Structure 1
């Protein structure tokens, strides 16, 4: 599968309010989700700090801001219970959230970034946890 190219961030297309709304609405869904909720609740200690970090991350991706500081890969690799189904569920909820926001440009951009990130995290997770297996792509067309 050839991934879609990621659009360049643009501060003129999305507002900080839209980015914040995306983050808060997505995590409201994820926290209630039967599969994802328990994982987030177990591993996110300070939700206020997490919202700031995730808003900074998505602002960097969508608007080109430079506030994000972090390394998502090691944090995800440290989780013992992840699998392809969970990554796909994360993408489903994310896409549902971007659709509900009503900004088609934001939806397209954020969904493309989310697919890329989920694929990279899943690849890194497999390489770390199953080093003797050939890692499989995250088939996002099934999501």
Structure 2
């Protein structure tokens, strides 16, 4: 795995997100004309996650907490697109590393955004699980 592979996964994934009828409008509303900046930031993020480069200096939870149109089911769609992208762009063992990390990130973001310990069963969030598990 190298920077070129990380970049390919990120760019291919976000092209799929932008084309997705559910996720595309959510991302376009938030990012507007800042896609070049967002893609560069996501390359830094995934480089830090996968290659431990330390290039990403942001706070993903803070950024996601500002999003008001995102629902828990959007994360499953995000993960579906991510899994497809990783499997298409990477050798199997590397794709699984990407997927494992994406699932942990999605779970963490969902807990931060939607977990309501006093909401009871109605407020429960279904956390994604690996399709490989």
TM-score by length of 2: 0.88
Distance 1:136 1:34 in 2: 23
CA distance in 1, matches of 2:8, 2:128: 27
1:121 equivalent in alignment to 2:124: no
Q: CA RMSD in A?
A: 1.8
TM-score normalized by the length of structure 1: 0.82
Task: Give, in whole Å, the separation in 2 of the partners of 1:142 and 1:100.
Answer: 15
Higher percent of residues as helix: 2
Cα distance in 2 for residues equivalent to 1:142 and 1:56: 26
Whole-angstrom distance in 1 between the partners of 2:108 and 2:85: 21
Give the match for residue 11 of structure 2.
Answer: 24
In structure 1, the gaps of 5 or more residues are 1-13
Residues 56-105 of structure 1, C-alpha deviations (whole Å, 9 max, x = no match): 11011111101101001111111112212100000000000001113112
Q: Distance in 1 between matches of 2:130 and 2:39?
A: 28
After TM superposition, the runs of 4+ consecutive aligned structure 1 residues lying more than 4 A away are none
* Change in 2 beyond 3 A, CA 1:18/1:141: closer
Stretch of structure 1 that moved more, 100-109 or 59-68: 100-109
Structure 2: stretches of 5+ with no match in the other structure: none
Aligned to 1:67: 55
Please state whether the residue corresponding to 1:140 is helix, strand or coil. Answer: coil
How far off is 1:140 after superposition?
2.3
> Do the aligned residues in 2 keep the contact of 1:123 with 1:137 (CA within 8 Å)?
no
